[in-house]
Amino acid sequence: MACAEEERCSYEVCKETAEWLRARTARRPRTAIICGSGLGGLADALEDKTAFAYEDIPHFPRSTVAGHAGRLLFGVLKGQPCVCMQGRFHGYEGHAASTVTFPIRVFFLLGVENLIVTNAAGGLNPQFQVGDIMFIRDHISLFGVAGHNPLRGPNDERFGARFPCMSDAYDQELLGLARESAQELGFQSFTREGVYCLLPGPCYETIAECRLLQALGADAVGMSTVPEVMVARHCGLRVLGLSLITNKVVLSYNSQEKANHEEVLRISVVRAEELQRLVTHLLGKLQEHTASP
C-alpha cells in the first residue's frame, strides 16, 4: 500500500492540480522559472500576468521562508510563454522530497519543456565574489548520498524511467545561450560557471564542512535546487541553473564573518536587476531558436 505522502504526490493528484490551473488561464507555458530567495522580481517582469496564491491551488504546498512570496504566475517574457514560482519549497521547512518537487511534475503535465532554476548560494570557490552569478554546470547532492532522493519509492512510468541519467542534468544548449546572453549584455565580469552542492539546511555550514565541500570540487553551496533538477530530468525537461553568490563561506576560525539570511536577501536585491535582464535576454534567444525552421 502506498504511503500518504506518495498518494498526495501521485500522478492523479498532480494531474488534478494541472487541470485546475489549465481551466483558469489560457497560457500554455513552455518554460518554468523558479525564483530563489529575494529573486521573485523575475516573476514581476512577466507580461499579461495571471497570478495564483499557493494556498488557493489544490494540493500545492506552502512556502514559509522570508523572501519567498508564495505565488504562481503565468505570463509572457520575450515572446516565451512562462510559468514562474515566486518562492520554492525546502526540506528544512518539514516538506518531504516529493512535496518539494510537486510543482515540477505539475509543470510537466502542463506541457513545460524547459526549467530555469535560480537560487541564492554561498561561494566556496575563492575566485568567486559576492554578487557573482554562477551558471550551474553540475551538482553534488550530499542529501542524495544520504538516501534522500525525490525519486525514491515506486516509479510511475508516466513521469519517467526508473533510472534517469544525471550526467546531462544541465542542458548544454541552454548553458550556451546563457553564456551568449552574458556576453551580449556585458556581464562577463560577474558571471561564472561551477558545481553547486546541496546541503539540507537550515543551518549554514561549519568551517570543516566548507573545507570538505571545496575538496570535493564544489564551487557554491545552497539548500535547494537539486531535488527540483532531479525530478525535472526524470520528466524529460531541459534545465538551466543559476546561482547568485550572496555570501562567501567562512573558512577561517579567526574570521568574524557569519552567514545570515538577511545578508542573502540584501545581496539578492542588489543583483536582482542584472539577473532579471540575463534571464529575459536568454528567453528572447530561446524564443528565436524555437521560431527558427
Please identify which of the residues 134, 247, 268, 281 carries the catalytic annotation.
247
Of the residues 32, 43, 54, 68, only one is catalytic, namely 68
- CA-to-CA distance for 30 and 107, rounded, in angstroms? 9
Question: Which of 111, 29, 39, 114 has the alpha carbon at shortest distance from 73?
Answer: 29
Q: Where are the beta strands (DSSP E) in 29-102?
A: 31-35, 47-53, 71-77, 80-86
Active site residue 59: no
Sign of CA dihedral 26, 239, 133, 150: positive
Are 178 and 134 within 8 A, CB to CB?
no
Of 79, 4, 84, the C-alpha closest to 40 is 84
Annotation says 43 is catalytic: no
- Among residues 6, 93, 113, 193, the one annotated as catalytic is 93
What is d(CA 80, CA 39) in angstroms, rounded to the nearest whole number?
A: 19
Residue 189 neighbours by CB under 8 Å, 6+ apart: none
Q: Which of 69, 166, 261, 274 is catalytic?
A: 261
Respond yes or no: is residue 90 known to be catalytic: yes
Concerning whether 166 is annotated as a catalytic residue, the answer is no
Q: For this structure, is 247 an active site residue?
A: yes
User: Which of 98, 119, 224, 243 is labelled catalytic?
Assistant: 224
Cα angle 114-42-201, degrees, rounded to a multiple of 5: 80
173 is a catalytic site residue: no
93 catalytic residue (yes or no): yes
> What's the grid cell of residue 263?
545578508
> Of residues 134, 169, 178, 223, which has the active-site annotation?
223
Q: Which of 233, 203, 270 is nearest to 136 (CA)?
A: 233
209 three-class SS: helix
Catalytic site residue from 16, 92, 155, 263: 92
Contact (Cβ atoms closer than 8 angstroms) between residue 226 and residue 149: no
- Which residues are tagged catalytic? 37, 68, 90, 92-93, 120, 223-224, 247, 261
